[in-house]
Homo-oligomer: A and B are copies of this chain.
Amino acid sequence: MTTANVLEKRGFTESDEFARKLDRLAEVAVRVGLGLAPRQQVVMTATLEQVPLARRITEHAYRAGASAVTTIFADEECALLRFHHAQDFSFDTAPAWLYDGMAAAYRGGAARLAIAGGNPALLAKEDPEKVSRLNRATSKAYRPALELITRQEINWTIVSGATPAWAAAVFPGLPQEQALERLWNAIFAITRIDKADPVSAWKEHDAHLHARADWLNEKRYAALHFRGPDTDLRVGLADEHLWDGGGSVARNGVYCIPNMPTEEVFTTPHKSRVDGHVTSTKPLSYQGTMIEGISVRFEAGRIVQAHASRGQHVLEQMIGTDEGARRLGEVSLVPHSSPIASSGLLFLNTLFDENAACHIALGQAYTMCMKDGEKLSREELAARGANESLIHVDWMIGSNRIDVDGISASGPEPLLRAGEWTWKV
């Protein structure tokens, strides 16, 4: 057998080409996404399936001057064992000590890197009431740490690695090895790892997103109007809202790009000025369960009717988390021609799917999407319309059949038509 034959027999994830790309993804995550500064600690989270990527990231973080890299590995199998064997009270308990520890790390200057890519349907067969209670307990325990992230106190980023369960969900008809290869290749393409110089490609893309956000910031729209099949939604924007996109300087002075991929420009809606109805255009994978065919009616910012063709109970539990869970915390514009939509794939993973289409998020607003947001008190932020909640759940409302107008004092202006920007930057 020749060497070539031996190589052919190896699966893609054992190939040298894969190893090179995985290493490059790790390098881009650390240097471009996280923008790691020397002597920072890194707090990484990942499932056990992500060990190969976590190792490559660990190496690049140390090479970039990390003082310590600590990965908290979650085991999906153990998560299922809990649902199958734990007593009822367990589902109201979360390890607050761990999340508080992470918050302490961030306050001490650590950077935060999450590897996403869990099984999108992990908890689909579990009791939705227990799923919801555990999500709520976890959200509550995680809140202090999450606030440091959403307030951009530190540099952070989320990247994804393919896993067998995720690949099987995206490519249900393919054998496991092929599904995994196709998902990895999609991730490499979408995160610009295939480019000759991924770092330059990311810098160019980042500049492009900033130009779009700047243009929207000059417009000072009072509202956006979404129209399409089963959708007619007016989203009032918060007073002194800011559009954001791509990377930004965190309050610790480090420039980071918090999502890889990212294709969106986004801002803060006014929590009391959203009216009309809207229908989801992609299924939502929400903490291990699927919610599909979401159809919601807003009045004065608040959801007054919510229906899902699948996952109705989980949707109700989600919007019942707290008062802010029924209101919007983010609105985001993405053209239908984004590389993710172009792939034609449904990733069942918010990091990817939200960057394939215009979307809205229920729950917590981002301080950085308000002028001088980091200097304002909670009361001042609320007075300007910024929403507060334990949750922040994005779901997709864009497609090539959606039109979006910007509403200013002088009337509506077309922003997107059939899912595409009406202007170039």
Contact = CB atoms under 8 A, between A and B. Distances in A.
Interface stretch (A4-12, A95-103, A208-216, A256-264): A95-103
Interface string A325-337: 0000000000000
Nearest to A134: B68
Contacts of A15: none
Interface in A53-103: 54-55, 58-59, 62-63, 65-73, 75, 77-78, 81-82, 84-87, 89-90, 93-95, 97-98, 100-102
Interface in A191-205: none
A10 to B, nearest CB: 21
A39 interface: yes
Contact of A58 (B39, B67, B69, B78): B78
A95 B70 contact: yes
A306 to B, nearest CB: 30
A48 interface: yes
A110 B97 contact: yes
A72 B70 CA distance: 10
Contacts of A86: 62, 66-67
A81 B59 contact: yes
A419 to B, nearest CB: 43
Contact of A104 (B55, B75, B97): B97
A1 to B, nearest CB: 24
A108 B104 contact: no
A38 interface: yes
A69 B48 contact: no
A97 B87 contact: no
A54 B75 contact: yes
A96 to B, nearest CB: 8
